[in-house]
């Protein structure tokens, strides 16, 4: 067995280094590729390091079994898929190798020289460096065109972000393959131009430096600065805690010094870090759950310093053109687990954000003055981060919804940007058809962002949001050009409603959960046409059961019910959808007309259905929407759905359902009061 992707077959993958991150990289490969029969070989010259790395690897898998993340059989297959060796010859036949050794150009060069002796000339050789330019790492290679940097983030088996950094000699086709390969196995890769530190480490380490300077200036202790940083920047953990967790002191110390040479003079190794390195001590940080009280005046001063430094650091990266805004915002939020610069700037107000970055630059010699923020503030409009991307393929516009951190859920920006792109495509004479898809391998669209739904605290707001969502589906449905939905994963709620507005749907085969209208579990009903289009696509009786219970539909069921036009593998999905859209556009395949009139033989009431502990009050409103809408046209049915959505917003159960989701997550059942 093997894993074949875009013309490259992987039977073996190599990981060099069994220290801090190598076993975690191997673990992710095992999770995603063991089922395809791929062997992962971890090589380290130290037998002790191999034993320690293997113990760490197996402990994490065992914990995964305890947490029910893996079944026992899966765990055993993952363990069996990984070989631990001190012999580089064991990498013979590996077509992709990730070096994850010490951050030393000399050591990496030696490793790459050994890899060239045992790997095929077209094997891709990647370095999990956190700083070194790919040109430096691959300087001694005979075939520089197949080398690049692949920078993972802590913890590598769970953090989905990966920086892909090609060098000057890297074959662009290799960089594209590596980027797409990582997306295919579930990571979220972003491409970054080559420069020391790439796009994220100067922010991560620069923010640590800013926090260290706050301590050195007497604004607070490491505990206090850490606590303030979490609130000021929306961090998962503070900068000092992050250093403790990642063991980052030893890398950050020299990294900051080199960034001072290669990026801007402000970067340097602060004295407290030098002392920590000399003494081998960890940072004093807040304990889990510990509440740190900081006097208001000092809290404001620390906040201003950290926000100004963060915004200025991000400004320097964007002004240097190392990465696109869309990729950078996503990378910061997912890789560093904090607010992105655009989101923070919008929340603060662009003038305030610019003032903070400018003040920090002015009061810190060697820190670059902001340029990107100045341009944004001059526009007078909030920064719009693209979350819907367009790419045209020979007359077919492909729209990709990209919000992987929330399984591509639809927030206000996503709704708006889909609409803007659709209107542009409608008016573009060079475009004959459109494909609507989403990013990654897990979800097409997991539904409307629940935080977005939570704002519907009144019937009037709920009806407005429903009308806006319905308008988008009507825009897609009436685009005047064929629109095919490529369902790359599950489609829930608003995602299924978007898909049903398209003239055809192509989906991934073999999914036990492909689509659902699970709104009733939140104490609401579909508001973007689900109560009207689903009965017209799969029949009233069948649709009513799925709408009232929220039960998911498998790939096979979706095809058999007529909800999905075609099933295929994930790798075939987009090409097949584009081909189908093009066939509709040139008339070689006829678009199946949609039923927009009333349904026949609509009963007076729906058959009794076991809805379990779901809200009876919401169910009554839902049944009204289904039945009344089925007796009239689609257009009038949408109006009925909209009115019913307003009625749901009057119920106690809607508030209970939304609050339960936000507090306890999607798996916790709400305790409805049926009112």
The answer to whether 333 is a known catalytic residue is: no
Query: Residues 519, 604, 605, 641: which is the catalytic one?
Result: 519
The whole-number pLDDT of residue 450 equals: 84
Give the separation between CA 673 and CA 254, rounded to whole angstroms.
60
- Give the ranges where 192-270 is alpha helix by DSSP (H): 201-216, 222-233, 239-246, 249-262
> Is it the case that residue 378 has pLDDT exceeding 90?
yes
> Is it the case that residue 247 has pLDDT exceeding 90?
no
**Average of pLDDT values for 627-654?**
97
> Is it the case that residue 24 has pLDDT exceeding 90?
yes
The whole-number pLDDT of residue 246 equals: 87
* pLDDT band at 455; cut points 50, 70, 90: confident
Answer for the pair 229, 238: CB distance below 8 angstroms, yes or no.
yes
- For 129-170, the pLDDT digits (tens) are 999 999 999 999 999 999 999 999 999 999 999 999 999 999
**Average of pLDDT values for 305-309?**
98
**SS3 state of residue 340:** coil
- For 186-234, the pLDDT digits (tens) are 999 999 999 999 999 999 999 999 999 999 999 999 999 999 999 999 9
**Average of pLDDT values for 620-635?**
97
Give the separation between CA 258 and CA 558, rounded to whole angstroms.
56
> Is it the case that residue 665 has pLDDT exceeding 90?
no
Query: Residues 497, 604, 605, 669: which is the catalytic one?
Result: 497
Strands 96-99 and 443-445: unpaired
The whole-number pLDDT of residue 20 equals: 87
Give the separation between CA 451 and CA 659, rounded to whole angstroms.
10
**Average of pLDDT values for 410-420?**
96
Give the separation between CA 516 and CA 538, rounded to whole angstroms.
13
Give the separation between CA 244 and CA 281, rounded to whole angstroms.
10
The whole-number pLDDT of residue 391 equals: 97
* pLDDT band at 557; cut points 50, 70, 90: very high
Backbone angles phi, psi at 456, to 5 degrees: -80, 70
* pLDDT band at 456; cut points 50, 70, 90: confident
**Average of pLDDT values for 287-291?**
90
Burial of 648 (0-12, 13-18, 19+ CB in 10 A): buried
Give the separation between CA 278 and CA 238, rounded to whole angstroms.
22
Average pLDDT, the chain: 96
**Average of pLDDT values for 332-339?**
96
> Is it the case that residue 453 has pLDDT exceeding 90?
no
The answer to whether 329 is a known catalytic residue is: no
Beta bridge partners of 85: 43
> Is it the case that residue 171 has pLDDT exceeding 90?
yes
> Is it the case that residue 340 has pLDDT exceeding 90?
yes
Rounded to two decimals, the pTM is 0.94
Domains of the chain: 3-191 (3.40.50.720), 201-379 (1.10.1040.50), 388-664 (3.90.226.10)
């Amino acid at each position: 067995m093997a894993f074949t992707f875009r013309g490259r077959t992987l039977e073996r993958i190599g990981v060099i280094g069994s220290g801090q991150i190598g076993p975690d990289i191997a673990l992710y490969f095992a999770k995603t590729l063991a089922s395809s029969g791929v062997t992962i070989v971890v090589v380290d010259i130290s037998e002790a390091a191999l034993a320690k790395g293997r113990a760490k690897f197996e402990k994490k898998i065992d914990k995964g079994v305890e947490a029910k993340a893996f079944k026992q059989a899966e765990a055993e297959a993952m363990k069996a898929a990984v070989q631990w060796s001190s012999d580089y010859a064991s990498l013979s036949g590996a077509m992709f190798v990730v070096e994850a050794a010490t951050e030393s150009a000399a050591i990496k060069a030696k490793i790459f020289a050994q890899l060239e002796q045992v790997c095929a000339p077209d094997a891709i050789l990647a370095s999990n460096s956190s700083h070194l330019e790919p040109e430096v790492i691959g300087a001694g290679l005979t075939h520089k065109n197949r080398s690049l940097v692949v920078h993972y983030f802590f913890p590598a088996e769970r953090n989905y972000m990966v920086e892909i950094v090609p060098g000057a000699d890297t074959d662009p086709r290799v960089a594209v393959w590596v980027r797409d390969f990582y997306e295919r196995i579930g990571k979220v890769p972003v491409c970054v131009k080559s420069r020391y530190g790439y796009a994220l480490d100067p922010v991560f380490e620069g923010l640590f430096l800013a926090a260290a300077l706050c301590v050195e200036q007497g604004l607070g202790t490491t505990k206090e600065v850490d606590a303030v940083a979490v609130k000021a920047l929306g961090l998962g953990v503070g900068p000092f805690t992050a250093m403790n967790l990642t063991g980052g002191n030893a890398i950050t110390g020299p990294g900051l010094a080199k960034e001072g040479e290669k990026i801007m003079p402000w970067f340097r190794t602060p004295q407290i870090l030098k002392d920590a390195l000399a003494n081998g001590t960890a940072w004093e940080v807040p304990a889990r759950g510990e509440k740190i009280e900081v006097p208001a005046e000092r809290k404001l001063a620390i906040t201003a310093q950290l926000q100004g430094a963060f915004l200025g650091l991000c400004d320097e990266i964007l002004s240097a053109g190392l990465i696109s805004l869309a990729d950078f915002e996503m990378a910061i939020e997912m890789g560093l687990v904090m607010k992105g610069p655009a989101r923070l700037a919008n929340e603060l107000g662009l003038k305030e954000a610019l003032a903070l970055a400018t003040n920090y630059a002015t009061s810190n010699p060697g820190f670059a003055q902001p340029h990107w923020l100045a341009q944004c503030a001059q526009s007078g409009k909030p920064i719009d981060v693209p979350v819907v991307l367009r790419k045209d393929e020979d007359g077919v516009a492909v729209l990709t919804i990209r919000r992987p951190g929330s399984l591509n859920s639809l927030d206000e920006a996503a709704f708006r940007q889909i609409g803007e792109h659709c209107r542009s495509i409608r008016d573009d004479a060079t475009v004959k058809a459109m494909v609507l898809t989403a990013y990654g391998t897990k979800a097409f669209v997991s539904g409307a962002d629940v935080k977005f739904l939570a704002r519907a605290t009144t019937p009037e707001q709920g009806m407005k949001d429903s009308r806006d969502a319905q308008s988008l589906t009507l825009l897609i449905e009436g685009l005047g050009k064929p629109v095919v939905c490529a369902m790359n994963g599950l489609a829930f709620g608003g995602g299924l409603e978007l898909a049903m507005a398209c003239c055809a749907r192509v989906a991934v085969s073999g999914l036990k959960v492909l689509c659902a209208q699970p709104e009733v579990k939140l104490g609401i009903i579909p508001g973007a046409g689900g109560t009207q289009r689903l009965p017209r696509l799969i029949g009233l009786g069948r649709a009513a059961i799925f709408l009232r219970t929220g039960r998911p539909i498998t790939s096979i069921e979706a095809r058999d019910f007529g909800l999905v036009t075609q099933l295929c593998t994930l790798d075939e999905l987009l090409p097949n959808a584009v081909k189908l859209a093009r066939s509709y556009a040139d008339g070689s395949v006829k678009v199946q007309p949609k039923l927009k009139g009333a349904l026949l033989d609509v009963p007076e009431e729906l058959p009794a259905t076991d809805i379990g502990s779901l809200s009876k009050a919401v169910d009554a409103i839902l049944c009204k929407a289904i039945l009344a809408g089925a007796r009239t046209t689609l257009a009038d049915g949408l109006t009925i759905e909209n009115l019913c959505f307003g009625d749901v917003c009057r119920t106690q159960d809607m508030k209970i359902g939304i609050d339960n989701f936000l507090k306890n997550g999607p798996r916790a059942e709400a305790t409805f009061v049926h009112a």
